[in-house]
Structure 1
Amino acid sequence: MNLKDLDVDANNKSLQRSHGLSWDLNTYYFMFQLSFENKPITHRGILSTINSTYDLLGILAPIIIYEKLVLRSLVSETVDWDHLISDELALEARRIPRTYVPYLGRTTTRELHVFSNGSKKTIPVVVYLCTTDSNRTPHLRIVLGMAKFAPTSGHTIPVLELCAAVLGVNIAQCVIDQVDIHIDNVKYYMDSKIVLGYIFHETRRVFIYVANRVARIRKFSNPSQWGYVPIDHNPADLGTRSVLTKDLQDSIWLFGPQQFLASNCKKSCNQGHQLVDPDEDYEIRPTVTVLKTCAPSESVLETHRFERFSNWKRLVKAIAFLKRLTHACRSKKLLTNAITIDDCLDTEHFITRSVQATAFREEKNRILQQNAISKRSCIANLNPFLDEPAIMSVGGHISNSDLCLQEKKPIIILGRHHVATLLLRHYHDKMKHQGRHFTEGAITSAGLWITGAKQLISSVIHRCVTLEVSPPFTNVGVDTFGLWNIVIT
């Protein structure tokens, strides 16, 4: 209030108007005065009385919210504006201390304590300024209060209490922005452990409505600033059930829960809060168990399945058919065409890559990282590299020879693998079982380099049933060339 606005010629010089409030200069109190003249107890009279009360700081919120609830019920019942009702207004003249702190310069700490609560009818919030002097004497005074209507339906009590917590954070920020003094700390209190669990939790997911409001709370406050207050020590509870005007003067709404703040505030704010019955809370998303299967980026098949085949051609045709079937299922087309030569060639490369990925995993990774292969590897002397189809082949000076492309860059196959045995059987049958040298030459001409090929070829030939050698003269036959003339002398 500016001094130029002071009316010194008025009859009552001690009573002045400030921001719509009556200000007693002698006692430094705010005064709320109501006039009930020509205001009957009707819909119209109640509305006029409530709107004539200007409570900028929300000091009379527990009283006015009750009258607003009465007005709300009249609107829902479609009562006539001039119909007399039985409810009587409980608004009377009140005197509220204006001074927050007796001596602001002597204070050592300045904190805001925000209390909130929620019910099916109202959502009240009240803010207090708590200061201490050098003797650690606390002084508590109401700064701002507010009581809003709760939605008529569609919300549970925990959700309404969460909305009250959001309102408390917003009002605290408004107070910090408007007051001219430095606030050392802000503490928030509520009597709902469910909402405190929402604010503190970091493990379970909640639905969007709750998540957005928790994010708003965490944006302007930390979970460590929130604490639990018993309902009988929560001044915001008065805004949910209202009080009479005569009882407001000495209630904790104006002076705060001084005993609770002196004894339990530090303990309440330092303890964490867990979710209350998360499996039964409809605002918390249910826990979903997800099974994850990690597959390599390359298209690699588990090669131990190849041991079920005893013939190379059957293996190639089976894998080619499965690949075509997979492609047909993904493209949602019918499988009509037969397996072509290109399909078989592509399948042979696929089988070779799968075998190398299993047998030479470490060597292949080192080649991709452009690192040297370990000398302990069985293919270290072959100077291997990855050719265009991502198949490991033999490198070195052999690539400068005049041989054909397959013989210049033979594909490396581990001799201990089952596929190597299938390839040796295939080319041994192709050479009509003509012995080790012919089979080895066929393997080389086909562009394959099988580690330990000589011993493996000997083993395959030894087990070949077609080349089993029998003792001499086991089977004897006679060729005849027609009739024989026998001369008897």
Structure 2
Amino acid sequence: MLVSDVEKMFRQINLSPEDRPLQCILWRAAPGEEVEVYELNTVTYGTKPAPFLATRTLKQLATEEEGRFPLAARAANEDTYMDDVITGSDDVETALEMRFQLDKMMSRGGFKLRKWASNCPKVLDDISPEDLAIRDSEEVSLDPTASVKTLGLTWLPKPDVLRFQFNIPELEEDTKLSKRQILSVIATLFDPLGLLGAAITTAKIFMQRLWTLQDENGGKLEWDQPLPSTVGEVWKKYHAQLPLFNTISIERCVIIPGATSVEIHCFSAASEKAFGACLYLRSQNSRKEVLVRLLTSKSKVSPLKCQTIPRLELCGALLAAQLYEKVQDSIKMKLKTYFWTDSTCVLRWLLATPTIWVTYVANRVAKIQTITEGCFWGHVPGVENPADLIPRGISPEDILENNFWWNGPSWLEADPTRYPKQPENSAEIGEEERRHTIVANSAASLAAFNENYFKRFASYTDVIRRTAYWLRLIKLLRKPRHERRDGSFLSTAQLRESEYTLVRRVQEEMFAEEWKALRKGQHMPAKSPLRWYNPYLSKDGIIRVGGRISKSEEADDAKHPIPLPARHVFTRMLLKHYHERLLHAGPQLLLGTVRLRYWPLGGRDVVRQIVHKFLRCFRVKPTRIQQFMGELPASRVTVSRPFSRAGVHYFGPVYLRPAPRRPAVKAYVALFICLCIKAVHLELVSDLSTDRFLQALRRFVARRGKCTDIFSDNGTNFVGARNKLREFLILLNDKTHREVVSTAYATEGIQWHFSPPSAPHLGDIWEAAVRSAKKHLLKVIGENPVSPEDFTTLLVQVERCLNSRPLTSMSEDPNDLEPLTPSHFLVGASLQALPEPNLENVQLNRLNKWQLMQRKLQDFWRRWRREYLCQLQARTKRWKPPVQIEVGKLVVIQDDNLPPMRWRMGRIHKLHPGDDQVVRVVTVKTAGGMLTRPVEKLCILPLPDSDADVEAEDNLSNSLV
């Protein structure tokens, strides 16, 4: 390799005298002198045409001296970039001759070559030290670390390797990162050959991600605004590894000495984030030794507009073909070339004629086929595709010793017979991109045409206007060539003609028999949906409703509307258009307005579906999930001592007057309910603090016995109570207190169970009890303040009334005139006692007085099983099959304190199925973090029906990022 530099290149080129007045400057040697005008006689650095003039002059010199100096002329034409000459030869003799010719030819043009460098010291033996790029005071430097900068890379001639020399600024820990700072660092990563492409793609993907960030107000993040901390940490981790690029050494020689065969292998890959290609040279000598080296690579980030993976893979294949074209133009040799991709869909597209595919695919396939004509396209598994490192992106640390990236897959070093075998082509692969052919004069083809035609448009207005342009083009093509100009805007008549043309196509498809019968003057078929409306065929060939109001004074369109099939895509587009035009009107107004011109058959149901499935309308009045009713927990259906498993809830406030003529104060009522027998215990609480609740809990336990489990809503006061109880139990178990408390209190505690946040329906048993208790209190005192003693007495009486409610209907036993109530289980039982042994089969005369009381209590439990427990079997509501909840669904979270349009949105992140595998609680990912909510508080957004709805859903989804 031989490198040189032209000294002061621009100043060696004279301008013609007639052009010199165009380069004038004002100059004076001292402030006191007069300003004089000077003309610059040579090409001036900094002017716009200067680079072209210098390069063009050099090429003209090579053209004129090509006969005398052929080697130098070729190097000047092909191996020169501005004032740098980078060339070489296969042997020392040719290199010496090329250096001699370059020196002579440049001298004839007035250019002096200096800064000579070569990986072979013999080529530079007779060059003076001042003209060497690497020198010391006496001789050429043999320091292996001495380098020469060439086109962004640092070349070390002695070891003949290339290195990078990036100036990476250090980041301080408290640095506030911004988009401008990160882009300035990424711009310094100049890698013209793409040797670091797999690692630099990571920076490109990161920069594209910054472009999509939003500030706190939902606007676009400006260049100098601080980045979110989570994003900044990702960049700092990547930035800390950037200095590792400067430690990479790359051998400049990519072909094995004495090579007998050279092959090019291009790999391409793509992902949702990026796509890229890398090119390797495989060379082999006569001794069957093989050398594989990375030559170049190229990468691009995927567009923000979502594309399918096969299409991105096709873009990667096109990038590989264009990269090969650049390399082919540079090396000037026709080598055997292989293209490899891990996409069977792309291979299917490339094997067929481009015209059978849709425009997007056809254009790229045609370019690839043109560039790679005569080359081999093959399939390689993704794990053996080095280009797959580009779209995934790797860190600088991972690229250092990555042989897979620098030397390609291992099978490249083997015999070509061991290259990957090609999969069998399937006729179905890639068929979704096939261009659809329209065949006329067929009812089936007409239906296919209408369906595919309307699906190409996003809205009703779009399909009407574009069809109008097509109709105008058809008319212009039928006119003589000199009359084919019509640049005016679409008129109302043209839009109306377009609309009626589409209506005719729809009616010909959906009402084919009716349309034929009307044209022949026959009656409607007996099963026709139009038989009730006395239809007729108008002059413009459209079926209209005859009806019974033709003598009214309404407009003709209202008296004779156009019938349309309700389920057709055109009708749905029309209804959506009117729905938006009427500012998202309700079903009644929408249907009434549409019927002034059109008569959609069965339109009431379709209108409701469109209104309810419209995303914006759904958010105004969302439909909550009604999940399948779950099985009752064990605490509701297992025999246990009263209040051993209890639920607790607060209600209020109530107003108490401590003394006459004193202001009323607020108070609350703590309600404890037994989950097994629905017995109720009421306690007056002066406020909602945790201490007052603990006092009420102690009074409850003292009078009803210690609970094993307590269930409650997820309130902050109950959470605090649980934490204090836990600390209290730990204190009781301490060694210093073991002698004071009993073993039971030291080893037993109350286990607390909380419902999920915002799920009051999961505590319906205590919610119903609260409703009953408040009803009694309101009937007796209303909102009038009473004294604490009076209210406490009233609470006990209300408690008695609630505990006297029948659990079941009257018994069928004629001797038993008393219904089963919670009071039957509360009277005569010890607060700490458990049910005694079964005495049902023991004769009464063998029981003592205590056993008779226990026998009566066991009879109550027997009736509880037979009469009450069986009533819990049926599901009185939410009996429909379970709603299938899926991860990734877009939902609206109900908030009772906000209007529906301001409810937060989120995506279901994690499911929490119950014992019956029915999902009733989920974790939702929102813009503010993760939330755990019951499914009854969620509203699943409806699935989109069109591209416009998909775009609307994407806009809503982007608000979560």
Alignment check: 8 A CA contact 2:260 2:286 kept = yes
Over 3 Å counting, the alpha-carbon distance change for 1:277 and 1:165 in structure 2 is closer
Over 3 Å counting, the alpha-carbon distance change for 1:275 and 1:29 in structure 2 is farther
Partner Cα distance (1:137, 1:289) in 2: 59
Please state whether the residue corresponding to 1:36 is helix, strand or coil: coil
- Pair 1:282-2:435 in alignment: no
Where does 1:53-132 land on structure 2 (aligned, <5 Å)? 53-77=189-213, 78=221, 80-81=223-224, 83=226, 85-87=232-234, 88=236, 89=239, 90-91=241-242, 92=244, 93-101=246-254, 103-104=256-257, 106-132=258-284
Partner Cα distance (2:180, 2:441) in 1: 65
Shift of 1:247: 1.8
Match of 2:366 in 1: 215
User: Which of 391, 395, 400 pairs up with 1:244?
Assistant: 395
Alignment check: 8 A CA contact 1:109 1:131 kept = yes
Letter in 2 for 1:94: T
Shift of 1:267: 5.2
Match of 1:44 in 2: 180
Match of 2:134 in 1: 8
Q: How many residues align?
A: 289
Over 3 Å counting, the alpha-carbon distance change for 1:261 and 1:169 in structure 2 is farther
Partner Cα distance (2:222, 2:428) in 1: 43
Match of 1:34 in 2: 166
User: Which of 249, 258, 268 pairs up with 2:410?
Assistant: 258
- Pair 1:18-2:150 in alignment: yes
Match of 2:644 in 1: none
Deviations 1:156-189 (A, max 9, x none): 1101111111111111011011125x34311100
Please state whether the residue corresponding to 1:129 is helix, strand or coil: strand
Where does 1:83-482 land on structure 2 (aligned, <5 Å)? 83=226, 85-87=232-234, 88=236, 89=239, 90-91=241-242, 92=244, 93-101=246-254, 103-104=256-257, 106-180=258-332, 182-202=333-353, 205-222=356-373, 225-251=376-402, 252-259=404-411, 262=414, 268=420, 273-277=425-429, 281-286=431-436
Alignment check: 8 A CA contact 1:121 1:150 kept = yes
Deviations 1:393-430 (A, max 9, x none): xxxxxxxxxxxxxxxxxxxxxxxxxxxxxxxxxxxxxx
Shift of 1:151: 1.2
Partner Cα distance (1:168, 1:187) in 2: 11
Over 3 Å counting, the alpha-carbon distance change for 1:115 and 1:282 in structure 2 is same
Please state whether the residue corresponding to 2:401 is helix, strand or coil: coil
Alignment check: 8 A CA contact 1:126 1:144 kept = yes
Partner Cα distance (1:223, 1:208) in 2: 24
Deviations 1:274-313 (A, max 9, x none): 44445xx431134767899xxxxxxxxxxxxxxxxxxxxx
TM-score (norm 2): 0.28
Deviations 1:114-163 (A, max 9, x none): 00011111111000011111122221001111111111114211011111
Over 3 Å counting, the alpha-carbon distance change for 1:133 and 1:153 in structure 2 is same
Over 3 Å counting, the alpha-carbon distance change for 1:166 and 1:203 in structure 2 is closer
Shift of 1:270: 6.7
Shift of 1:50: 1.2
Shift of 1:235: 0.5
Shift of 1:223: 7.7
Letter in 1 for 2:192: L
Partner Cα distance (1:265, 1:240) in 2: 29
Match of 1:454 in 2: none
Over 3 Å counting, the alpha-carbon distance change for 1:114 and 1:18 in structure 2 is same
Q: Which has the higher contact order (CA 8 A, sep 6+)?
A: 1
Match of 1:387 in 2: none
Letter in 2 for 1:61: G
Shift of 1:209: 1.3
Which of these two proteins has the greater Rg computed from alpha carbons?
A: 1
Letter in 1 for 2:320: G
Over 3 Å counting, the alpha-carbon distance change for 1:189 and 1:277 in structure 2 is closer
Partner Cα distance (1:268, 1:224) in 2: 16
- Of all paired residues, the percent bearing the same amino acid is 26
Alignment check: 8 A CA contact 2:379 2:422 kept = no
Shift of 1:266: 6.1
Over 3 Å counting, the alpha-carbon distance change for 1:265 and 1:112 in structure 2 is farther
Please state whether the residue corresponding to 2:432 is helix, strand or coil: coil
Over 3 Å counting, the alpha-carbon distance change for 1:260 and 1:23 in structure 2 is closer
Partner Cα distance (1:261, 1:79) in 2: 50
Over 3 Å counting, the alpha-carbon distance change for 1:285 and 1:176 in structure 2 is same
Alignment check: 8 A CA contact 1:126 1:146 kept = yes
Shift of 1:246: 2.1
Over 3 Å counting, the alpha-carbon distance change for 1:149 and 1:203 in structure 2 is closer
Greater Cα offset, 21-30 or 282-291? 282-291
Shift of 1:58: 0.2
Partner Cα distance (1:225, 1:271) in 2: 14
Deviations 1:411-450 (A, max 9, x none): xxxxxxxxxxxxxxxxxxxxxxxxxxxxxxxxxxxxxxxx
Alignment check: 8 A CA contact 2:161 2:251 kept = yes
List gaps (5 residues or longer) in structure 1: 293-331, 333-489
Over 3 Å counting, the alpha-carbon distance change for 1:188 and 1:242 in structure 2 is same
Aligned-CA RMSD value:
3.0
Over 3 Å counting, the alpha-carbon distance change for 1:267 and 1:73 in structure 2 is closer
Letter in 1 for 2:433: E
Partner Cα distance (1:63, 1:203) in 2: 34
Deviations 1:243-294 (A, max 9, x none): 121221332121111325636776547776344445xx431134767899xx
Alignment check: 8 A CA contact 1:206 1:285 kept = yes
Partner Cα distance (1:156, 1:112) in 2: 29
Letter in 2 for 1:73: R
Shift of 1:62: 1.2
Shift of 1:226: 0.2
Partner Cα distance (1:290, 1:135) in 2: 66
Deviations 1:213-241 (A, max 9, x none): 11111112248600001000100100011
Partner Cα distance (1:72, 1:79) in 2: 14
Please state whether the residue corresponding to 1:117 is helix, strand or coil: strand
Deviations 1:13-72 (A, max 9, x none): 712211121122232222123333355554233212211121010011111111122122
